[in-house]
Structure 1
Amino acid sequence: MKEIPEIKLVTVPETEEAKKAVGYKWNDEAGTRHKLGGIPDRLCLEEYPNCKDCGQRMTFYAQIDSIGDDYDLADTCAIHVFVCFDCFTTESQLNQI
């Protein structure tokens, strides 16, 4: 398993509709925790999935946060994406962060 250095992602909504969709009225942090690599928020190494093809522990690849009030993922959850760099198998999880 290799670790990818953390790369923070910043949303750039380009239309008025998209600008209204981003963010929460009650929470300034939720909706801003998108990133590539690093360590997933509130998830320990033991919770990383194993590759269904080769059985090796997968590498954390990305965290996609909830978007905002109108597109919330189960009370500000995030999607965690994992990849096996040997098999190029991917898996995602919805986790509370």
Structure 2
Amino acid sequence: MEIPKIKLITTPETEEAKSVVGYKWNDIAGTRHFLGGRPDDLKVDEYPKCKDCEQTMTFYAQLDSIGDKYDLADCMVIHTFVCFDCFTVESQLNQSLA
């Protein structure tokens, strides 16, 4: 199953939040948030298997690093997968070059 890709737009609501979003040296990192679609730089055959039923899990979301202050190990992203049969969830920290 593949969920249609839905881009997420960062909208910080406070001055404190605005001050931590983005990078001084990179215009792409911090903007790669989305639901569904396919994760950046990860092939379908690399998706995890459900620990309960052993079926390939569905990609659910990609969350990017926030910015310089809350960087995930050199601009990594979090990929989250779900099994819609068992409702098992797994997340991975992955390097994305997109």
TM over 0.5: yes
Could you say which residue in structure 1 is the equivalent of 2:6?
7
Could you say which residue in structure 2 is the equivalent of 1:87?
86
Which stretches in structure 2 are left out of the alignment for 5+ residues?
Answer: none
| Percent of pairs with identical residues | 75
Q: Secondary structure at the match of 1:81?
A: strand
Which stretches in structure 1 are left out of the alignment for 5+ residues?
Answer: none
Partners of 2:76 and 2:23 in 1: CA distance: 13
Displacement, 1:46? Answer: 1.4
* Aligned pairs (5 A) from 1:40-51: 40-51=39-50
Deviation per residue, 1:46-89 (Å, 9 max, x gap) = 11000000000000000000000000000000000000000000
Query: Runs ≥4 in structure 1, deviation > 3 angstroms?
Result: none
Could you say which residue in structure 2 is the equivalent of 1:62?
61
TM-score of the aligned structures, taking structure 2 as reference length: 0.97
Partners of 1:17 and 1:65 in 2: CA distance: 19
Displacement, 1:5? Answer: 0.2
Partners of 2:74 and 2:46 in 1: CA distance: 20
Partners of 1:67 and 1:50 in 2: CA distance: 28
Could you say which residue in structure 2 is the equivalent of 1:74?
73
Partners of 2:76 and 2:42 in 1: CA distance: 12
Q: Secondary structure at the match of 2:69?
A: helix
Partners of 1:47 and 1:93 in 2: CA distance: 11
TM-score of the aligned structures, taking structure 1 as reference length: 0.98
Number of equivalent positions: 96
Partners of 2:20 and 2:46 in 1: CA distance: 31
